[in-house]
Amino acid sequence: MNVSDFLRFHQVRAPKMMWLLGAGASAAAGVPTAYHLIWRFKQMLYCSEQHVSVRTCSDLGDPTLRSRIQHYFDSKGGFPKENSDDEYAHYFEAMFPYEADRQRYLEEIMRGVSPSYGHFALAALMKLAQARLIWTTNFDSMIEDAAATMYGSSGRLIVATPDAPHLGTHGIADERYPILVKLHGDFRSRRLKNTSEELRAQDAELRRDLVDTCKRFGLAVVGYSGRDESVMDALREVAESGHCFPFGLFWFYRPDSPCLQKVRDLIEQVCQAGADAEMIELDTFDELMGDLLLLIQDVPEDVQKHLSTQRQWVSNVPLPPTKGKWPVLRLNALPILDAPTVCRRIVCSIEGIREVREALREANTEAIATRRQLGVIAFGSDAEIKHVFGSYGITTFDLHTIEPKRLRYESAEHGLLYEAIGRALQRERPVSVYHRRQGHLVVVNPSRGDRFQALKQVTRDVEGVVPGTQLSWAEAIRIRLEYRLDMLWLLMEPTIWVETTHEDAAFERGRQFVQQRLAARYNSGWNEILDAWANIIAGGERESIIRAFGIGDGCDAVFKVSGVTAFSRREVV
């Protein structure tokens, strides 16, 4: 089933459909995910136990630093393996053994966070009686805040927590909707459930309510991975009862994060029990909620007004003059005016992304590729691609359309373009590119050409050796590829690259060197550095075309990049 199918199903099943929302539903609102919190906890535990400054471990996007921290906990023993199901609860408890401290920490990180458009759309569905019962494993108050705005009052939504489970039980029995059930409590709750022992002892009344309602309603799951065994046990209990999900179980997942095997097993078990059960590929929670509203006729004016205020409106404006106080705000994003719309698709027997990367490495090829359920997608020479995957029994060798909607998140297509633009910059500009998940590093490489005059005027030197060490350093930018406002952008963050080392003394000298060099750069300096890097990226032109391979056969990745960053100015009324 795809999203469009679900939208049509939802029209007739909405009064009997419940929602289960996990952390992924709040990510767009800026609420940290479990992955980010785990690394925060590891960082603080490591620094406190090793008696080192947290400033030396601030860049958690650095794979070398993460490897060092993870190696420490692996060698120490008593900590779960990386990416295991109980990592979050274990490290949170190790970080803050006392419940009150965990409450304070969660309250602090939630401060200043506001609901996303998806939360307001969900609140609109509540008001239209299209979403009556919502379950969540989240601690944040995004749903409550959005509902209070939509209703104009905080009293219309019943909120049940482990502190007051009877509110949910009685509300469901009396059909006093809408109802929100927070399975793990609230960050203000006295009974915060954030340790492994507490998670295993999930509140019995809330669990019973979940099991009972799943025997009478359908359930749509969004942003929830299924790692929490307490919730999965309840859903499995429903499936084993033989009378389950009479209006269907619909499990949404991101294409770049396939469902866990335990989720697949649950879906199969529900199907065997005779109920509808589907896994549905989804871009974002916000889009799903917005799409549901599109199919509702006669949305009241007050609901439309509340929703319209949550959208951000922008428009293109002429370039500002070279003199004066304009623009109001200068951004660090270069527009990508044209990007690949197709790539090669190969259907063969190779399995996952890791196997694809190993095959590319063993073939020593320039081609780049990744894996989706529909097959391998790639850029490069056709001959090289066939050489890499020929031994895996190619059954289909055609083209794959890169849909813009799949560039809005970390999809396989987004990752492929990300690697391709890094390859194009390294091929056609005097730079070296180091591929990293948290932002590729583009580092000056004067041995490949000298186009750094403008950068040298600001920074004086663009490369050298860290004093007191043998570590090389060079001016660099961290780049990201993002799809916003219906187009791609290349984001630039100026920084300093320092050669990797495992020697603590050298590492500390390198960190201090970078800190001192960056500290002296103020707004005017950053502005000139951005100008210099925009000039390097665009080859000194207003617009420039860069190619990942420069080939005549196969699928090349060709980008047209602007040398003028985005900016804002005051609206002219």
Residue 317, judged by CB atoms within 10 A of its CB (0-12, 13-18, 19+), counts as middle
Cβ-contact 304, 366 below 8 angstroms = no
Has residue 312 got a pLDDT over 90? Answer: no
In this prediction, residue 573 carries a pLDDT of 43
Whether residues 462 and 520 share a domain: the answer is yes
Q: What is the pLDDT of residues 407-419, one digit of tens each?
A: 877 788 999 999 9
Number of domains in the chain: 4
Whether residues 69 and 188 share a domain: the answer is no
Range of the domain at 412: 333-339+405-568
Has residue 570 got a pLDDT over 50? Answer: yes
In this prediction, residue 365 carries a pLDDT of 93
Q: Which residue has the tokens 């274990």?
A: 90
In this prediction, residue 539 carries a pLDDT of 93
**319 located within any domain:** no
Cβ-contact 562, 325 below 8 angstroms = no
Whether residues 270 and 174 share a domain: the answer is yes
In this prediction, residue 199 carries a pLDDT of 47
CATH number at residue 388: 3.30.70
In this prediction, residue 568 carries a pLDDT of 73
CA–CA separation, 75 vs 78, rounded Å?
9
Q: What is the pLDDT of residues 252-277, one digit of tens each?
A: 998 767 788 899 999 999 999 999 99
Whether residues 104 and 249 share a domain: the answer is no
CA–CA separation, 390 vs 348, rounded Å?
8
Nearest to residue 399, comparing CAs of 345, 341, 347?
A: 345
Mean pLDDT of the chain: 87
Whether residues 449 and 494 share a domain: the answer is yes
Q: What is the pLDDT of residues 332-388, one digit of tens each?
A: 999 999 999 999 999 999 988 889 999 999 999 999 999 988 899 999 999 999 999
Cβ-proximal residues to 486 (8 Å cutoff; 6+ apart), any chain: 404
Whether residues 129 and 254 share a domain: the answer is yes
| CA torsion angle 20 23 26 28 (round to 10) | -130
Whether residues 385 and 413 share a domain: the answer is no
Whether residues 457 and 500 share a domain: the answer is yes
Cα distances from 495 to residues 98, 169, 514, in angstroms, run 39, 54, 8
Kindly report whether the global pTM for this prediction surpasses the value 0.85.
no
CA–CA separation, 72 vs 504, rounded Å?
14
